[in-house]
Amino acid sequence: MRQLLLVFTLIGVFSCGEKKEEDTTVYFTGEIVNPTSDYVVLFRNDIVVDSAKLDEDSRFSFRLTAIQEGLHHFDHDPQQQYIYFEKGDSVVIRLNASPAYFDESLVFSGDNEEVNNLMIEMFLTYEDEEPLVYSYYPLSPEEFSAKIDSLRHQKLDELEQLLATTELSEKALEIARAAIDYNSYLYKEKYPFYHKKKTGETTIDKLDSGFYQHRETVDLNNSELTFFKPYYDFLKHHFGNLSYTLCNQYCGMEEFSTSQQQLHLNKHKLALIDSLVTEPKLRDNLFRNVAMDYLLKVHEANKECDLFINKFEALSTSAAHKEEIKHLYKGIQNLQPQRELPDLVLEDADGNPVSLKEIAKGANTIFYFWTSDQKRHFRNVTKRISKLKKRYPKHQFTGISLQTGRLEWLALLDENGVSTEDQYRSTDFKETQNALIVDGLNKCIISEDTLIVDAFANVFYLSSTDF
């Protein structure tokens, strides 16, 4: 569930709870095969509840005397997964933390094992189904709807079978249903946009209300699910879809490509969230998401952006989010064309510190990114770069590796026959991500000498007119 994007910054606050009656204590224990860190950290929403150190047998144990019932998640850096507790529960997990096995290997046993195992199973099923669902997007609304409903019903049947033999509390049942429903609803909210893209149609189809039947029952203010990714992703796309449709219908907007049009759309998106969402944390998270999306999409520094940020600041109640957005905007301002490249220091193959400006000096450079975690991307981008090198022999193509340990980095370059000459490693991911606004791995930065030409280009869509 790891994402390289600018996702939630989880701000930790340790809470020390009062002692409750013994039978409400929750025990959360487990064993981690191939651990990737020394700790397991437990969260309720964005708050750290407690952390446990692994012992020499890679086991951990939490004894939680003052815990809120409901959805939590645990981190075993860099991975995380959800867990559901009720008072008095004793839950045991077993898990292999190697990146390739993390989710597949996770097994819960003990109290509420059914809902916890169902959550992980649904997560994996939806992941497996994704290519299939993408292949359905060109279908007509009726056909698409029928396919998605049928996939959802298969999962609901599975839940029914489970309920025939196990009793779930109302709350646990709600979580189980949410793990099934929201991914399915998300597909429908995405449909008009993906359908248009896949079919090459020029307009977005008007869909009858039957297509969006879920909208009649869906809860836009579920505090329990505020930090549940399927629910949150659904809401993001729901408001995206709604504002697009409403601006189209009532504001006469047909295009959303210029920064003016984006400003209009995103101001209406903020207003829509403001009018429909009352749950405080959910509101703030959604406002933050709109602001981040907008700034990254237009990546300009102008009066429209200032206006938008004012609007965002008036609505958000989160000082941390406001600070974050201000910081992002500052980063974007620093990356405008004709500005100097940021003062950022990377490491070369010999372990020497080298600044971005030193690398770029006197050359036309394309900086591109990769990480050991996404090997397919690494192979693709390496292929792409060797093609570009042939086409533009005078340019310098410089790889920056993120979140990759030194030895792994050198081994991967060697394995893939990439010379270390133009390769550098970021030793501080957060710093690099913030300074260069790395919001996706396909991003590249074009510079001429130490000046920025385009800091928001895409390495797979470069043409000679770009540099």
Task: By CB under 5 A, name the binding residues for Zn ion.
Answer: 247, 251, 268
> Of 272 and 459, which CB lies nearer to Zn ion in the complex structure?
272
Closest approach of Zn ion to the CB of residue 254, in Å: 12
Closest approach of Zn ion to the CB of residue 242, in Å: 11
> Of 163 and 251, which CB lies nearer to Zn ion in the complex structure?
251
> Of 73 and 267, which CB lies nearer to Zn ion in the complex structure?
267
Q: Which residues contact 365 (CB under 8 A, 6 or more apart)?
A: 359, 395, 396, 397, 398, 445, 446, 447, 448
- Asked if 174 and 219 touch (Cβ cutoff 8 Å), the reply is no
Q: Which residue has the tokens 């790395």?
A: 438
Collapsing DSSP to helix, strand or coil, 97 comes out as: coil
Closest approach of Zn ion to the CB of residue 276, in Å: 15
> Of 270 and 438, which CB lies nearer to Zn ion in the complex structure?
270
> Of 102 and 239, which CB lies nearer to Zn ion in the complex structure?
239
Closest approach of Zn ion to the CB of residue 40, in Å: 46
- Asked if 265 and 217 touch (Cβ cutoff 8 Å), the reply is no
3-class secondary structure per residue, 200-235: CCCCCCCCCCCCCHHHHCCCCCCHHHCCCHHHHHHH
> Of 199 and 260, which CB lies nearer to Zn ion in the complex structure?
260
Number of Cβ within a 10 Å radius of residue 163: 13
* Residue 389 DSSP symbol: H
Rg over CA atoms, the chain: 24
Task: Give all strands (DSSP E) within 348-422, no chain letters.
Answer: 353-355, 364-371, 396-402
Sequence letter at residue 200: G
Closest approach of Zn ion to the CB of residue 270, in Å: 11
Name the nearest CA neighbour of 339 among 352, 350, 330, 351.
330
Cα 239 to the chain's mean position, in Å?
17
> Of 272 and 346, which CB lies nearer to Zn ion in the complex structure?
272
Q: Which residues contact 317 (CB under 8 A, 6 or more apart)?
A: 280, 283, 284
Q: How many helices (H) and strands (E) does the chain have?
A: 13, 15
Give the Cα separation of 332 and 434 in Å (integer).
9
Closest approach of Zn ion to the CB of residue 267, in Å: 8
Angle between helices 303-315 and 319-334 (to 10 degrees): 170
> Of 268 and 311, which CB lies nearer to Zn ion in the complex structure?
268
Closest approach of Zn ion to the CB of residue 249, in Å: 9
> Of 274 and 428, which CB lies nearer to Zn ion in the complex structure?
274
Closest approach of Zn ion to the CB of residue 244, in Å: 9
Closest approach of Zn ion to the CB of residue 263, in Å: 10
Give the tokens for residue 106. Answer: 């996770």
Give the Cα separation of 399 and 459 in Å (integer).
11
Task: Give all strands (DSSP E) within 229-291, no chain letters.
Answer: none
Closest approach of Zn ion to the CB of residue 53, in Å: 52
> Of 247 and 346, which CB lies nearer to Zn ion in the complex structure?
247
Closest approach of Zn ion to the CB of residue 308, in Å: 14
Task: Give all strands (DSSP E) within 275-422, no chain letters.
Answer: 345-347, 353-355, 364-371, 396-402
- Asked if 370 and 380 touch (Cβ cutoff 8 Å), the reply is no
> Of 11 and 251, which CB lies nearer to Zn ion in the complex structure?
251
Number of Cβ within a 10 Å radius of residue 344: 19
Element (H, E) at 423: strand 423-425
